[in-house]
Structure 1
Amino acid sequence: MTAFELTADEPDTSGSAPTDAHRAMTALLARVVIEVARRRQDELSGLTETLQDRVLVTTGETSRRAYGWFEPDAWRHGEQAVSELFVNADFADHAKWISPAENVLVTLLHEACHVYADANKIKDTSRDGRYHNRRFGELALCIGLQIERDRQTGVRTPQLSARGAADYRDLIEHLESGLVVVRRPRTLADADAESSKSAPEASADGSGLAAGPAAPAPRARYVFASCGCRMGRRPVTLRVAQGSWRPGVIRCTACGQPFTDGGV
């Protein structure tokens, strides 16, 4: 097995150390997942080329409670459709039994399985991608992930398998030194701070009313969303922090309908 080596990037003229660090980190994520595909080329034929030619590896903020995702044809490069492999840059929010670096590697490998399935027209999920089936489990084992059965999500990949941990030890070391820019996650406190900025300021005469146009009312802190299920006469509701709410993203596994904003 050839040792994984980092190649020097072209000089960057942005003049921003954080920008340079983020670009280098994103490039590292791409090189690591391509190196994994290279080491598994006999078992996952064509994955290396697909990752190099048709997938954009990105990292950044997300309000979704996800370590990452794969979205087919999310970008365009000229006339070519390009898929996205996204890694959540909140590296501090990771499974506590493994290091942030291994958690990122597990995310890259998990999404690489979806890349391979998409390229080879393998149906590896259902329920809008929430349920991972047996075919996905086979790919996950092949690439070096440990799998577990879960009632709601089908197959989970909590960490590397023993084989994966041995094969990718050097990649974990590179990630440990390369994950240098961490995205501060958006929290409920952020939403509250934004709401307080929208409150009217006191006037100079102490009346408590600001001069000029009326200031907008503060946003509610929570969204109460409901699906098609009911408990007696009452709908099943879900409370979500306003800053984390995204319409149509959360779907009920019982009735299959998305949760919709039912008011606050």
Structure 2
Amino acid sequence: MSEHLLEMAGARVRVRDGKVEVLTEPAIRSCPLRQDLYGIKVESKETVKRVLEEHMAELGMYGPKRVLELEDKPVSFGASEILSDALTEGLIDAAVLVSEGAGTVVATRPEVLQAIGAHMTGLVKTEPIEEIQSGLEERGCILIDRQGTVDQVLGFERAVEAGYSRIAVSLAGHRADDARALRERERALGARATILAVHTTGISENEAQVLAECCDLVWSCASRSVREVAGGKALMQIGIAIPVFALTPMGKRLILNRAMHFSGQLVLHRAGLPVTPEGKQPEPLV
């Protein structure tokens, strides 16, 4: 039996022993991405619960039958999709991310990374699920411990200890200080950290400043601060509803690599950033 805390659509959610309890109202009323993926026009506790229960039914999330290999890439320019393609092309050697039931994980196989991250959202705290931990280890993943600890800096250090030198690290926006710490550790360890900031809804302007200074890619989610701060400093933006901002040449490379793997049509043109047309953004921006 286990308990997990996460955020979805800005709502705090608890999953305890396979049962979903939405603890707070969603912070956003609508999200273009969630409408596209799940058909949700207006967010509520009920929509949050429904989507999470669908993930649990389809992928075994938060339980012993968790799907740990996935080829499907539901989000055009999601973090897991970008990193899976980066692994495939050899742009990175390993990726540090979080999984429910396991905590911080170092993954090196694209299909395993995609399974972990495709529908993972805002994991705050997790407890061990033995089947997930052993399944990930059988697929070559490194766990930083068996207690489900979330520590991306330690995950980066473990990846370096394992011999990897080009390491992507995804972290939640409210852990902006970890981005700064990673920049300090990469210099000390002689390895490159490619930092991706996700789940940025509700972060402060100061946190957005840190992310813009330290990260390679930042997802805007429903964050006004990210759009204003990171958007103005970005070298490149992909998407207009949920803009993803590349702050470094490596960030641009990851986006363009994903574009090469993306089977749909795309348009690329010169523009002042950020491009955030009214009526196309999540509501409200927080």
- What TM-score, normalized by structure 2, do the two folds share? 0.21
Structure with the largest fraction of strand: 1
Higher relative contact order (CA 8 A, sep 6+): 2
- What TM-score, normalized by structure 1, do the two folds share? 0.22
